[in-house]
Amino acid sequence: MRYLLIILLLFIDVASAYNIDEMLDLYRKDNDLSKQTKNESLGHLTIYTRDDIERMQAYKLQDLLNSLRSFRYDENSLGMPDTLHMDPLLYASDVVKIFVNNHEITSAFAGSGLFIYGNIDLGFVDHVEIYEGSTSTNVNSEPSMITIKLYTKDPNRELGAHLLGYIGSRATNHENVSYAGIDGDLEYFMYASRTDTNRKEYTHENHTLLRSYEDLHALVTLKYNNITLDADVIKRTMDPFLSTSMFATPKDGKIDYIYGRVSSDMTFLDDDSLKLSLSLMRIDGRLDLSMDKSRWSQKPSSLTLSQDHLETKSLDDIYQIKVQKDFNYKNNNVILGSEFIEKELHGVKTYNNGILSTDPEFVDNSIASLYLQDDYLYSDIQLFTASIKVNHYDSASNRYAKIFHTTQARLGYIYSSNGNILKLFASRMQLPTEQFVLASTSQNEVDLLNIMDYSIEATKSNNNHKIALCFEYIQNQNPDSEVDIYDIDEYYNNYSGSLKYDYSYDDYNDLTSMIYMNRVHNYVSRDIDNIYGANLKLLNSWHKFDIYNELNYYKRSNSEIDGINYNAGLRYKATQALIFSLKGTNIFDSAAKSEYKYVKMHGYIPSIESLYYSPIDQLFSVGMEYSF
Amino acid sequence: MKKLIFALLFITTIVQAENSQWEKLIIEKILTSLSHQPKVNVYTDDTKLKAKLALENHIHFTQSCVDADFILSTLSDKPKCNKPKIVFNYREYLHSPKAIAVFFWQKGRPTIRFSSKRLHQFGLNVTGELSKFVSSK
C-alpha cells in the first residue's frame, strides 16, 4: 500500500511537471487522426502523421516518398511522377494506387492517379499512409504493389483560417489558404492553393530540357451527419521535359490538364456497417509537343521531316460505385462488398504534323468486382485474415477478348503482443493493365500477368527502441504470348529486404533509420538490378524550434544511379499562430539520378544512350504560416 | 532496494500508459482553474467521460446536476440545470449560453477557450496559467 502511494505521488508529480501547452501538444500527438484510419492488416505500413508532415516541412507528397523500402520518388520522360519509372516505358507505376479519403484516384491513361498526385501540394492533407506490398482485396479496384492513402484535414479539427506560403530557389513559390467552419449540422473545409515550381534546367545537344510546372488546386470537404462529400479540381500546366523525343532533343511544347473529382461516402444502419461510396473523375488533357523525331511516329514518311509535331487531346473519365457491408460473428469480422468502375479514355484526337490520326487509341473498360474478407481474431494477440476478389472485365476497347475475369486472393497472419509484432502475408493477383489491354488488341485472348507476393515483417519494441525486419518476395509470371514472342523468361523474381531501427528519445525527439536492398528483374533490359539504400531521419524539437534532418542514400547496380539526398529544415514557432520556416532539399545537389534512354546517331548507325537527371532538385526555401 | 527498482519500473509503465490520457488531465486542469475548492463537484451524463475521470483526485461526480458546481457536457447529454457548462464542441459553445469553456480542436491543434462574458454571468474567474485562454468570444 505504501509503495502504491509513493507511485501515485510520483505520477502526480510527473503529470504536474507539464505546463498546459505541453499537455495540449501531447494530447494532439496522442490523438493523431492516423490512429483512427490506419489498418495494420492491410500490409506493411509507414505512416506520416500531421506532426511528421509539419516538422519535415513536407510541402509536396514527393517529399514523403524518398525513405521507403520498395521504391523512391521518380519521374518519367514527360516529368510526371512515376515511382517505378523504367525508361523507355511511358508510364510504369500502374500498380501504385493512390487514394484520397479512401477514394481511389485512377485514370484510364495510366491505371493510377499517381501522375496527378505524386507531387501535389500537401496543404490539404492531415496524414499519409503508405502500404508496401499487396493489400486487402477490399481496398483497391485492381491489384497493387504500393498503396498511398491521403487523408484530408478534418473540418471539425480545423476551425478557423490558415495561410501558408513559401518562396525558394529559381523563384519557386507556393501559397495556400484554408478555412473550416461549422454551420448547424454541416461541417466544411475549403482549401485553395497555387504552386509555381521552377525546376532546374538541363541542356542536351543544344536543346534545353524543361520540367517546370504550375498548379492551381481547390478542394472542398463537406460533412453532414453520416454523409461526406469531397470535391477537388487541379489545373496543371507543365513543360514536357524530354517529351517523346527519340533523340532527347525536344524543341518546344506544353502539357496541360484539368482534373476534377467529386466523391461521396454514406453510411447506413445504426452501427454504420453499411457503406456506399461514389466517385466521378475527369481528366481533360492536352499534349502539344515539338521535337526532332518522336518515338511515337508510326509513319515512315515522318522520318524524313526536319521536325515532328504531336498534338493530342483526350478525356479520361472514371465512374466508381462501391457498396460494402461489415458483419460481426463471434470472433469474425466479415466484409462483403461489390464495386463497379468504368474507365474511359475517349475523345482522343491526335494530330501528327497536322494530320489527324485515323486510328486513335482509346480505352473503355468496365470492371465489376465482388469481394469477401474475413478477419478472424484467434486470440487477443493473433489475427488471421483471408480475402478473395473476382473482377469481371468488359473491355469495349479490346477487339477480340471483350469479356474476361481476373482473381485476387490473400492470406495473412498478425501476431501482436507487448511490442512484438509479426506479420505474414501471401497474395496471388492477376493483372491486366490498361496498357496491356491496348497492347493486346491483336491477341485473340487477353493474357494476364500473374503475380505472387509473399512477405514477412517482424517488429520488436522495447521502451524507446524499435527494430523491424522485413522481407518480400514477388514472382511475376509473364503472359504466355510475351514469353513466346519476345523469348523472355517465364518467371521474373524480385526480392526486397529491409532492417529498420527507430529510437524515440522523448515525445519531441525521434530518430528513424533503415537499410534496404532490392533485387529487381528489369523487364525492359531483362537484367537483374540490385538496389541498395539507407535512410536516416532526425526530428527534434527544442523550445520554439523544430529541427529536421534527413539523409537518403540510393544506388542501383548496372547504372550511374548512385547518390545521397540530404534535407534539413528549421521551424520557429513565434506564437501558436505564427510560424516561420527555412528548408533545404537535396542540399548538396547529390541525390541519386534517374536514367532516361535516347537514340544517338553515329552517321547512319544508331545506338542507345542514357541521360541521367535527378528527380529531386536542389531547393532552398523560406516560408511562413499564420492561423486565425 | 528491489522493491524500489520495481516501483520505478512500474512508474515508467504507468507514465507511458498515462500518455494516452492527457485528455483527463487537461479537463481536470480546466476545472481546478475555475474552482477554489480542493474537490470540484461535477455532473455528466456521459458514462465514458465519467469513467475516464473517475480516479482524478480533484473531481467528485454528483448524482444530480443540482448538486454540481459544473456540468461536463458532450453532444449526447442536455442537462437542464442552470449550472456553468464545460463543453467539447465549438458549435455547442457558440450556441449554449451556459457554456463557459470549450476544449476543442482548431487548425489541427487542441485548444481551450473561456468566455469572459459568461464567466462574469456565473461570477467565475480563471486562475493560473489557463487565464491566457479567456476570450471575449
What pLDDT does residue A4 have?
47
In this structure, which amino acid lies at residue A569? G
State which residue of chain A sits closest to B129, comparing Cα positions. A20
What pLDDT does residue A13 have?
47
Cβ pair A24:B25 closer than 8 A: no
Q: C-alpha grid cell for residue A258?
A: 484539368
**What whole-number distance in Å separates Cα of residue A177 and Cα of residue A190?**
8
Q: How far is A11 from chain B (nearest CA, A)?
A: 7
SS3 A377: strand
Q: What is the pLDDT of residues A501-526, one digit of tens each?
A: 999 998 889 999 999 999 988 777 77
Q: Does B2 touch chain A (CB under 8 A)?
A: no
Q: Does B106 touch chain A (CB under 8 A)?
A: yes
Q: C-alpha grid cell for residue A366?
A: 468496365
What pLDDT does residue A116 have?
94
Q: Does B104 touch chain A (CB under 8 A)?
A: yes
Q: Which residues of B touch A30 (CB under 8 A)?
A: 19-20, 22
DSSP B32-70: HHH--SSSEEEE-S-HHHHHHHTT-TTEEE-SSGGG-SE
**What whole-number distance in Å separates Cα of residue A550 and Cα of residue B23?**
33
**Residues in CB range of A448: below 8 A, 6 or more apart:** A404, A406, A430, A431, A432, A479
Q: How far is B16 from chain A (nearest CA, A)?
A: 9
Cβ pair B129:A158 closer than 8 A: no
Please, what is the Cα angle at A397 between A396 and A403, to 5 degrees?
50
Q: Does A573 touch chain B (CB under 8 A)?
A: no
Element (H, E) at A1: none
What pLDDT does residue B3 have?
44
Q: Where are the alpha helices (DSSP H) in A464-555?
A: 480-486
| Eight-class DSSP state of A199 | P
Q: What is the pLDDT of residues A213-269, one digit of tens each?
A: 999 999 999 999 899 999 999 999 999 999 888 888 888 899 999 999 999 999 999
As a whole number, mean pLDDT of residues A137-151 equals: 88
The number of C-alpha atoms within 13 Å of B50 and in the hemisphere containing its C-beta is 13
What pLDDT does residue A86 have?
84
Cβ pair A23:B112 closer than 8 A: no
Closest partner residue to A157 among B10, B29, B105, by Cβ?
B105
Q: How far is A20 from chain B (nearest CA, A)?
A: 7
Q: Does B129 touch chain A (CB under 8 A)?
A: yes
Q: What is the pLDDT of residues A339-392, one digit of tens each?
A: 999 988 888 888 888 888 766 667 788 999 999 999 999 998 999 999 999 999
Which residues are A207's β-sheet partners? A204
As a whole number, mean pLDDT of residues A316-341 equals: 94
Cβ pair B110:A162 closer than 8 A: no
Q: Does A439 touch chain B (CB under 8 A)?
A: no
Q: Which residues of A touch B112 (CB under 8 A)?
A: 20, 24
In this structure, which amino acid lies at residue A311? E
Q: C-alpha grid cell for residue A520?
A: 529487381
Q: Does B23 touch chain A (CB under 8 A)?
A: yes
Distances in Å between the alpha carbon of A528 and those of A473, A476, A483, A518? Answer: 15, 14, 17, 10
Query: Which of A2, A159, A179, A506 is the best residue to mutate to test the B interface, defined by the most B CB atoms within 10 Å of its own CB?
Result: A159
What pLDDT does residue A559 have?
87
CATH topology classification for B21-135: Rossmann fold (3.40.50)
Q: Does A17 touch chain B (CB under 8 A)?
A: no
Cβ pair A20:B129 closer than 8 A: yes
Residue with cell 462529400: A229
Distances in Å between the alpha carbon of A111 and those of A70, A141, A401, A406? Answer: 19, 10, 19, 16
What pLDDT does residue A414 have?
94
SS3 A63: helix
Nearest C-alpha neighbor of A468 from the set A144, A146, A83, A69: A69
State which residue of chain B sits closest to A30, comparing Cα positions. B20
Does residue A95 contact residue A143 with C-beta atoms inside 8 Å?
Answer: yes
Nearest C-alpha neighbor of A199 from the set A220, A169, A244: A169
Q: How far is A510 from chain B (nearest CA, A)?
A: 16
In this structure, which amino acid lies at residue A146? I
Q: Which residues of B touch A3 (CB under 8 A)?
A: 3, 6-7
Contacts 24+ apart (CB under 8 A), A512-519: A512/A67, A512/A536, A512/A537, A513/A537, A514/A67, A514/A69, A516/A69, A518/A69, A518/A70, A518/A494, A519/A493, A519/A494, A519/A495
As a whole number, mean pLDDT of residues A17-31 equals: 87
State pTM to two decimals.
0.89
Q: What is the 3-state secondary structure (H, E, C) of A604-623?
A: CEEEEEEEEECCCCCEEEEE
